[in-house]
Structures are given as structure tokens and as C-alpha cells.
Amino acid sequence: MAKNTKTAKPTDKELLLERRNGFLRLSDAEVKKAFKFAEGYKAFLNAAKTERESVTFTIEKAKAAGFTEFSPKKKYQAGDKVYYNNRNKSICLAVIGKNGSRDGVRISAAHIDSPRIDLKPIPLYEANEQALLKTHYYGGVKKYQWTTIPLSMHGKIVRADGSELEICIGEQPGEPQFCISDILPHLGKDQMVKKLGEAFTGEDLNVIAGSMPASKEKAENTYKLNVLRLLNDKYGIVEEDLISAEIELVPAFRAEDVGFDRSLIGAYGHDDRVCAYPSLEAIFNCKTPKSTAIVVLADKEEIGSYGNTGLGADYLRFFIEDLAAIDGVPARHVLTKTKCLSADVTAAYDPTYAAAYEAGNSCFINHGIGMSKYSGGRGKSGGNDASAEFIGEIRNLFNKHDVLWQIGELGKVDQGGGGTVATEVAVMNMDVVDVGVPVLSMHAPWEVVSKLDVYSTYKAVKVFFEE
């Protein structure tokens, strides 16, 4: 027997897939809700520009929402809210469901690291009466975009005595900022004829740190010394302390509305805080779910999910194993029945660079959360490929709850490609599909997203948890 369900003969309009802009589909009240939701999102963007700051923000909000630190030794009831902080750079949150983990759990997985400029372990040097910092970029950046923009400095330093120091310089009005220089056009003859990918090298991304000597005496390293003296006065550190440090330079811009109609948001690091924030709001606001709901905010996605805070590590699996043990069920059965949204951004169709996209299968700004059946490059290499059955389930769920959603590929076949944490999730034998907000200028210091798409992502994760 075929399992096809036959309904009444569709009209011509029903025969065709309708792809329409959210402003043409949503009520004025829904649009208003989306614009309001964006205000909370912008506040998050301004408060948390790094993975560490995102975890700090998350714990603060989670505690206020009634979450407590998870203990594998405790028993939990339906509706209990817990979090597990993995090394201050990644975090799992859970709301215990009525069935606990017995029928699998539901996960929204986003990442909180973004492309940026990191300091090298011995960064400070002087050259021709300037103090400069050597850097090593993190993630996929177009290097030219990171020159001549205001940068702020964020991170952690561990001193020789083991004491820890957190820094954040250049975010508050009146604080100094940093920048990477570029050659003036008048002297850019050699640079201008180079290929874009070769004109700016990693070793050219040197950050200006100062230009004053330590004293009027002529001395070697006096410009470098002056910076070290200032750092010692303010933070009590010496040069060797910069070795046990993680210092990240990120754009000092604040999140702002874009366009006369304020329909878009420009900011640093939408990828992937634009999925992290709606996931957090969804788990904070969801009704007690049937199956335990989990949000995982991962680090290191931008460099391939490596390291013990990336989703290539086992902390999410260990967390689920602990939940399974509390419920007295084998963890592998829980994992096998688990469903996951890999919540990460996708490329938004850009009319200025239309040649890179296949418009018929692209995600569009204001068309809602974008689903990608598969990721990867070339012949879908290195990506996840969600099953027709799982896509069918998620598609019906979104339609049932009026979630504005769309489907698309990253760009034209063989134009490039990309991956997400979906591959790391799939190896645990879960069902997983890529969903996320379409982004213009992805990985640039100032990325752009639509308010309707951000709000749609919140609704999508919430109905996924509550189903």
C-alpha cells in the first residue's frame, strides 16, 4: 500500500510553491513583535562580542530565568532548568521535559565564536617609533576588510601568580581604540595591481598600540617599553603574562538599525550570535516541553569545531549521557532518538553579487529562517545532508505554527561552500538539519540581517522545543 495521502484536487495556486517576502505575509502585529525582539538582540550584540562574553551573558540571563548549575548527582523534575558551563567558552542549557530524555532530547545548536583578529603570544614590538602588536587572524576573514576600522580589545590574561584578569578596552565612549593601517592610494601603485587575496597578508595585520617613548632619553625599545609600563600601571602585568592570555580584537562598532525603514540590523558577529540569541530566548520562554529541550552554544565553529570547547569535543554527548543516567535509560538510545536544529547562518541573496547565487535556490532577506537540506562544497563534500523524512517533519511543524521559513543553498554549485556543527551532531546518530538567519556580507566586520528573519528563528526554535 502506498502511504500517499490523497487530498482534494489542488487549485493552480496551491500547485505552485509560493515564495513570498515576510512583509507581504505577516500581520502588522507580527512585524511589530519582530522589531521589538530586535531591540533585545542588539543589546546582546553590544554586551557580548566574544565567546567568553557570550557565556557570561548567558549565565547571567539564565540565572535570572530560574536556571541552576547542573549536577549529575541530582534528580530533576519536569520544568527544572539547568546549565552546564564548559570552560567559560561554551555552554549547554536544558529545560527538563515531561518525558525527560526517554524519547530523545531536542537540541538547538548555535556557535558563539566569530571571525576576528587574535594577538600572537609575543605580540608587542616597536618599529620606526611606533609600538605595534603582531596578530594571527581567526576564522575565514577577507583581510582587507579588517584594516582602517576601529577595533576594541577583549580577552583574558592569567598572571604569573595565577590570578586572572579580564579586559575589554574600546567599547565605552572615551576609551582608546585600536586599528590596523593601510597604504594611502597615492602610494598604492604596487598594492593595487595585486590579486585581492594576495594584496593583504596575515603578517600585515599589525595593530597600532602606541607612539610615545618611555622617556626623553634615547633608548632601545622605548616605545614598546612605554606601552608595557602603562599596562603594568593599569593591570599589574608584565610582557610574559601576555603568553598566558587570549586577547581578541573585534570591530568596535555597535549594533545599529540599517536602512530608512530600520528593517535590518548591522553588527559585528551576527554569525552566529543571531542564532544563539533566539535559541536562548526560545528556551527561556518555552512551555515545559514533552522531551527535554537543550540549547548548546559552542566555541571554535569558525575553525572547524576543534578543541575542547568546539562541538567536535564530547561535552554535549557527556551532558546528554548524564541526563540519560538520571532517567535510567541507555545514553545511546537517547542520542539515537534525539532531534537537532543546527542553528547557524546562511548566505542571503545579494543582488549586487548575483553571479555567485542561483536565485531559484537561494535564501532571501525577510523570507524568514532559512533551511538548508545539505551543506559542504563541490559534490556536497564535508557537509551534513538531512533526510527527506526529517525535513518533512520540520517543514510541517513550521507550517503548522505559521513560522516564516524558506529553503536555500549557500550559493551556486561549485562557487564555494561551507559547513556547520551539523556534521559534529550527526556523528552522534541524531537527526539534524541546518536552519538559520540569512546574512549579507557574512564574515565581514559589519554583517547585515533582517529583523523578521531573527524573530522567525526565535519562533522556529520555540515551536521545535514545545512540539
Q: Which residues of the chain form contacts with Mn ion (CB under 5 A)?
A: 271-272, 344
Q: Minimum distance between the CB of residue 371 and Mn ion, rounded to whole angstroms?
A: 15
Indicate the residue among 125 and 374 with the shorter CB distance to Mn ion.
Answer: 374
- We find the least distance from the C-beta atom of residue 414 to Mn ion, in angstroms, to be 20
In the bound state with Mn ion, the residue whose beta carbon lies nearer, of 272 and 299, is 272
By beta-carbon proximity to Mn ion, the closer residue of 111 and 367 is: 111
Does residue 295 contact residue 93 with C-beta atoms inside 8 Å? yes
**Residue 294: strand pairing partners:** 94, 107
Cβ closer to Mn ion: 366 or 375?
375
The distance of closest approach from Cβ of residue 302 to Mn ion in the complex, given in angstroms and rounded to an integer, is: 5
Q: Smaller CB distance to Mn ion: residue 271 or 431? A: 271
Query: Cβ 439 to Mn ion, closest distance in Å?
Result: 9
Cβ-based nearer residue to Mn ion, 300 or 339:
300
Pairing assessment for the beta strands 164-169 and 151-158 based on DSSP bridges: antiparallel
Contact 347, 444 (CB under 8 A): no
User: Strand pairing of 81-86 and 90-95?
Assistant: antiparallel
Shortest CB 186 distance to Mn ion, Å? 35
Give the shortest CB-421-to-Mn ion separation in angstroms: 8
Reduced to 3 states (helix: H, G, I; strand: E, B; else coil), residue 399 is: helix
Residue 242: all three cell numbers together = 601576555
CB of 22 to Mn ion, least distance (A): 22
Which of 168, 326, 328, 186 is CA-nearest to residue 247? 168
106 to 291, 386, 430: CA distances (angstroms):
7, 16, 10
Task: To the nearest 10°, report the CA torsion of 297, 375, 431, 114.
Answer: 0
Complex with Mn ion: residue 126 or 302, whichever CB lies closer? 302
Cβ atoms of residues 315 and 92 within 8 Å: yes
H-helix or E-strand spanning residue 35: helix 28-47
β-sheet bridge partners, residue 245: 157
Closest CB to Mn ion among residues 326, 345 = 345
* For Mn ion, the closer CB: 271 or 321: 271
Q: Which is nearer to Mn ion, 292 or 375 (CB)?
A: 375
Q: For residue 90, which of 288, 255, 296, 237 has the smallest C-alpha distance?
A: 296
**393 CB contacts (<8 Å, ≥6 apart)?**
339
Q: Which three cell numbers stand for residue 377?
A: 562544497
Pick 62 or 274: Cβ nearer Mn ion: 274
Beta pairing partners, 165 = 157
Give the containing element (helix H, strand E) for 29. helix 28-47
Residue nearest to Mn ion (CB): 272
Contact 338, 393 (CB under 8 A): no
Task: Provide the minimum distance between the beta carbon of 150 and Mn ion in the complex, in angstroms, as a whole number.
Answer: 22
Considering the complex, what minimum distance in angstroms separates the CB of residue 438 from Mn ion?
A: 12
CB of 55 to Mn ion, least distance (A): 17
| Minimum distance of Mn ion from residue 84's CB (angstroms) | 22
CB 370 → Mn ion: shortest distance, Å?
Answer: 12
Phi, psi angles (nearest 5°) of residue 419: -135, 170
Burial classification of residue 83, based on how many CB atoms lie within 10 Å of its CB (0-12 exposed, 13-18 middle, 19 or more buried):
buried
Query: Is there a contact between 80 and 266 (Cβ–Cβ < 8 Å)?
Result: no
Our CB check for Mn ion shows the closer of 93 and 422 to be 422
55 phi, psi to nearest 5 deg: -65, -45
Amino acid (one-letter) located at 254: R
CA triplet 176, 177, 181: central angle to 5 degrees? 135
Percentage helix, strand, coil for the chain under 3-state DSSP, each rounded to 5: 35, 25, 40
